[in-house]
Chain A
Amino acid sequence: MSVLEVKNIEKHFGSTKVLRDVSFDMEEGSALAIIGSSGSGKTTLLRCLNFLEVPDKGSIIVRGETLFDADRPIKEQEKDLRRKRLHFGMVFQSFNLFPQYTALENVTLSEKLLAKERPDFKQNKKEILEEIESHGKALLEQMGLAERMEHYPHQLSGGQQQRVAIARALALQPDILCFDEPTSALDPELTGEVLKVIRGLADQHTTMIIVTHEMSFARDVADHIIFMDEGVIVEQGDARQVIDHPKEERTRQFLTKY
């Protein structure tokens, strides 16, 4: 069974159609790269999956559960929105770390807030918080940030900040982790450390959707690639196939720029 099914998603802002009939599936443990020129709707697609935008048409199904269906009444869509969101994690292009919290606090904050809703929180408060703390530390260690846990975002390089953001997204153990151009805001010499971490996640079969302009990275790390242009999926398929032997003329033209 697919972990994610996206069916016929459409989205427009005013009169401009940004997504048109976007459909794709993802297998558990696979990595999907989305490529395409600027303005083709890649960010909008990720934002729809994370419920930061509401699609006008279509449905989103995770592990067989319909999280979103534009045909259903609004009331039902907004119900449990927070819980539905937790199926997805999001790593933003501009990190969006919380500046007033340390790296570790950034990673553990949401987990701690969610733990408060557990019925046994009052009873086992200490153990639960300790567990969250050590989980957060383990994630930061995995990101190669063992020495930086008590640093505030402004004391970290861009690459380090983005790795904290990845740890923060992983902390809630999402089914699908989304990256929106995770290295685009970084100096070229810092992209490597972030790509390495994402590669590591792919090796552990983390289910991921990565919007990226790093073609060779997409080819090496992703199992599948989607090429988008003007809000439609022009071509999708096996990563190497799409990059090395694109079927569509538009894909070929796009790839010659890289």
Chain B
Amino acid sequence: MFWSVTQSLLDGLWTSFEIFIFTLLFSLPLGLILSFGAMSRWKILRGLVQTLVWIIRGTPLMLQLIIIFYGPGLWLGHNIWNGSESGRITATVVAFSINYACYFSVIFRGGIEGVPVGQREAGEVLGMTKSQIFFKVTLLQMIKRVVPPMSNEVITLVKDTSLARIIAAYELTFAGYSFMKSSGITWPLFYTGVFYLIFVGILTLLFNYIERRLDYFR
């Protein structure tokens, strides 16, 4: 029994991991683009981005996921995600990427605006080019500011992957839950918790390492 549970949970973990990785892959650059939009000189663009962020942060991720998975099928008459497991995962990644991009955009914006203008000006009077100022002066300071709030969001993302169960994607929590349902046993639920703890534990170590590496300056 233990091995079959482990096997199932590993399957679920893999799905959760896919959602996690692909969401990061898409939401990080998208978040950066949104943060530029939010700081744009163009008022309309700024307004659009702010409205999007307000809507996405103001509604539950689960609701967004349901709308994105079922919406197209009901509006267009055919399901663009196809009913397979990979379709469910894709829909989840899309919903999550939009959601997390909005959260990341706020963090990035804080990081970018948090670097004092004096840093850029000091670079300018020293004859540096715009790109030299960005890469040699401001970038690392932004990263340093952004890492702690990012680590919070990334750890939340690990646990949010369990929301994919609502559209029947076979992720980690679903895997643990199905044993309780089918065999009436509860220990797989705790075992599932251990999987999350290890996942989050590794990320925590990673972020601690990054923070320590950036600790040499203030």
Residue of B118, B124, B128 near A113 (CB, 8 A) is B128
Question: Are A92's CB and B127's CB within 8 A?
Answer: no
Which A residues form the contact surface with B (CB < 8 A)? 50-52, 82-83, 85-86, 88-90, 92, 94, 96-101, 109-110, 113-114, 152-154, 168-169, 172
Query: Using Cβ atoms and an 8 Å threshold, which residues of chain B touch A96?
Result: 116, 118-119, 121-122
**B interface, over-half SS:** helix
Q: How far is the CB of A32 from chain B (nearest CB, A)?
A: 18
> How many Å lie between the Cα of A101 and that of B136 in the bound state?
10
Question: Given A82-B129, A153-B217, A154-B217, A113 and B116 touching (CB < 8 A)?
Answer: no
Q: How far is the CB of A63 from chain B (nearest CB, A)?
A: 17
Question: Are B127's CB and A85's CB within 8 A?
Answer: yes
Question: Are A98's CB and B118's CB within 8 A?
Answer: no
Chain B, residue nearest A165 (CB): B122
Question: Given A52-B125, A86-B127, A98-B119, A113 and B136 touching (CB < 8 A)?
Answer: yes
Most buried by A among B125, B129, B216: B125
Q: In this assembly, does B141 line the interface, its C-beta being within 8 Å of a C-beta of chain A?
A: yes
> How many Å lie between the Cα of A94 and that of B125 in the bound state?
15
Ranked 5 nearest A-B pairs via Cβ: A110-B126, A96-B118, A96-B122, A154-B218, A90-B125
Q: How far is the CB of B136 from chain A (nearest CB, A)?
A: 7
Question: Are B127's CB and A89's CB within 8 A?
Answer: no
Most buried by A among B122, B128, B140, B218: B122
Residue of B121, B126, B132 near A168 (CB, 8 A) is B126
Q: How far is the CB of A83 from chain B (nearest CB, A)?
A: 7
Query: Using Cβ atoms and an 8 Å threshold, which residues of chain B touch A153?
Result: 217-218
